[in-house]
Structure 1
Amino acid sequence: MSHKKHQARLHAVQAVYQWQMTGQDIREICSQFLSDQVTPRVDTSYFSTLLVGVQENLGELDSQLKECLDRSIESVDPVERAILRLGAYELILQPTVPYRVVINEAVELAKVFGAEQGHRYVNGVLDKLSRKIRNTQTAD
């Protein structure tokens, strides 16, 4: 796992959370993070790709996640919702990222930012989604 991509995901969760909670333009949030919080250890290109990708594909991401959730996307904890949306984006629209990396990264992010058992929920949802989206890959 690339440390720079891990850092990009770490910051992206915070930025997506901010976007969900404030409704602020995602590009403004991206610029703010790039100027204020992002360090040289962050893959800034991937950070930007994640943010814009989640926002531009939100309908598809939520639609795909909906089928894997036990409740509405709106009732999922906002931090876990941000993590799930990032994970869904990578599973669906970044096929070069191995599904195991996507799930592992999301679980680690949930351990850092989520509720006490949130990482288990994130793991279960993204595992279901990966079986659906990348069915040939999960068969191995």
Structure 2
Amino acid sequence: MSDFNHPSAPARPPRQPRTGVTSTGARKAGSKSDRSRAREFAVQGLYQFIVGCNPVEDVDTFTRDLAGFNKADAAHFDALLHGCADQARQLDILIQPLLDRPWGEISPIEHAVMWIGVYEMQHCLDVPWRVVINECVELAKEFGGTDGHKYVNAVLNGLAPQLRALEVEADRTKKPR
């Protein structure tokens, strides 16, 4: 019998929670930025757009009524949802060469997350490329399948030198070899 459950065993002090993260290491809801929340709502909306083939205007209206939307950056959500929906074909054309399987085998969540990543790399130049990838990896961890985040990471890292060539090169030259 283990001493762990024995009544005379010394009591362990309770674990101290890490600020800003859950027990699994994911960010707590309270520590998310307005833009991170906008990305989360955009993923949900794009999922509806991809899977349900719902008109983007209907998805927009529905998503804005979800609990917690008031804490999101509405302008960033709007740019992501409408930008990705409007440019879906062009985004897919950029992503396609990096896929190792047909689109039908790509999870709609990972598809939406990759759209967001590519769209932000192209149109949200105020967000550093590494932040774009990190945010998308976090979205894939939160909403996607078990290893979907690894796939998203590989695809977006593969596109970064093409979409943010100067920024990627500047980062590479800063690092000691």
Specify every segment of 5 or more residues in structure 2 that has no aligned partner in the other structure, as ranges: 1-30, 172-177
Identity of aligned residues (%): 34
Specify every segment of 5 or more residues in structure 1 that has no aligned partner in the other structure, as ranges: none
Distance of 1:107 and 1:96 partners within structure 2: 19
TM-score, L = length of structure 1? 0.93
Residue 72 (structure 1) aligned to one of 93, 102, 109 = 102
**More helix, by proportion:** 1
Distance of 2:139 and 2:122 partners within structure 1: 19
Instruction: Report how many aligned residue pairs link the two structures.
Output: 140
Residue 134 (structure 2) aligned to one of 92, 104, 125 = 104
Question: Higher Cα Rg: structure 1 or 2?
Answer: 2
Q: Label 1:38 to 1:27 Cα distance change in 2 as closer, same or farther (>3 A).
A: farther
SS at match of 2:91: helix
Aligned-residue Cα RMSD (Å) equals 1.6
Q: Please tell me whether the aligned partners of residues 38 and 44 of structure 1 are also in contact (alpha carbons under 8 angstroms).
A: no
1:136 maps to what in 2? Answer: 166
Identify which of structures 1 and 2 has the higher relative contact order when contacts are C-alpha pairs closer than 8 Å and 6+ apart.
1
Aligned partner of 1:111: which letter?
K
1:116 maps to what in 2? Answer: 146
Distance of 1:61 and 1:74 partners within structure 2: 16
Q: 1:133 offset after TM fit, Å?
A: 1.2
Aligned partner of 2:101: which letter?
R
TM-score, L = length of structure 2? 0.74
1:24-44 per-position Cα deviation (integer Å, ceiling 9, x unaligned) = 101111111112334321111
